[in-house]
Amino acid sequence: MPTVAHEFPSLRVFDHPLVQHKLTIVRDRRTSPADFRRLLNEIAGLMTYEVSRRFDTRAVAVETPLEVTEGRQLSRPVTLVPILRAGLSMTDGVMQLFPEARVGHIGIRRDEATHRPVFYYAKFPHDVRDGYAIVIDPMLATGGSACAAIRHLKDVGCRDIQMICLVAAPEGARRVHAEHPDVMVYACALDRELDANAYIRPGLGDAGDRVFGTVEG
């Protein structure tokens, strides 16, 4: 079970030993892009068990080899919404565990001068508003991209939204709670702070660069 971050009522932090073990390897600057990608997907899969705990189910009849019995199935569709590009790195891990999920995409980049989010793309299933939406992004830094993504989903009618990330900064967690207190955020760690360049400290570097091997130097 994730723990409650008391200063941030809508934030849940995973303290599971296996999650923390994998997160430590992800933080290591020596971890290769291939291992980084693999670990992000493994962590995302582990997080999905808890994120899906509150999904509604309905009773269905199922015929076993011996008799008919009652089972349970999800009663509403689930849409994963990775924030491009780094959010893609965690989506496969969720879908390996939950292949029934659909995938929407939302493109938001950070203006490096202003640190403000710049929206450039969105594509969702036509009935995204009828089910659950899970926003996926490895980093919750200033909270600008997360809040913009959540706002866009609400604008198209979504009312049941959650978010998963690897690491969160206090500034980002505070902003998401202030703007969207109805959205639960799940993270593997609540890190110390943002630096002057709006990077999470201690963090794990630029997740997109590390996933796709575009780190300079």
For 128-165, the pLDDT digits (tens) are 999 999 999 999 999 999 999 999 999 999 999 999 99
Q: Distance of CA 53 to CAs 27, 49, 50, 73, 140, Å?
A: 28, 7, 5, 13, 22
**pLDDT score at 54:** 85
The model's pTM is 0.89
Neighbours of 179 (CB within 10 A): 14
Q: Does residue 216 carry a pLDDT above 70?
A: no
| Domains, the chain, ordered by start | 3-56+68-212 (3.40.50.2020)
Confirm if 180 and 159 have CB atoms less than 8 A apart.
no
Q: 180-208, pLDDT tens digit by residue?
A: 999 999 999 999 999 988 899 999 988 87
pLDDT on residue 71 = 97
CA 133, 47, 52, 169: dihedral to nearest 10 degrees?
A: -50
pLDDT for 4: 63
Return the ∠ at Cα 50 (arms to 46 and 56), rounded to 5°: 130
What is the C-alpha separation between 202 and 27, in angstroms, rounded? 9
Length of the chain equals 217
Positions marked active-site: 110, 114, 206, 209
Using alpha carbons, list the distances in angstroms from residue 179 to 55, 150, 151, 174, 188: 23, 10, 9, 9, 22
pLDDT at residue 156, as a whole number = 92
Integer-rounded Cα Rg, in Å, for the chain is 18
Instruction: Please report the pLDDT score of residue 217 as a whole number.
Output: 42
Q: Tell me the C-alpha distance between 45 and 59, whole Å.
A: 25
For the residues 40-64, what does the mean pLDDT come to? Answer: 92
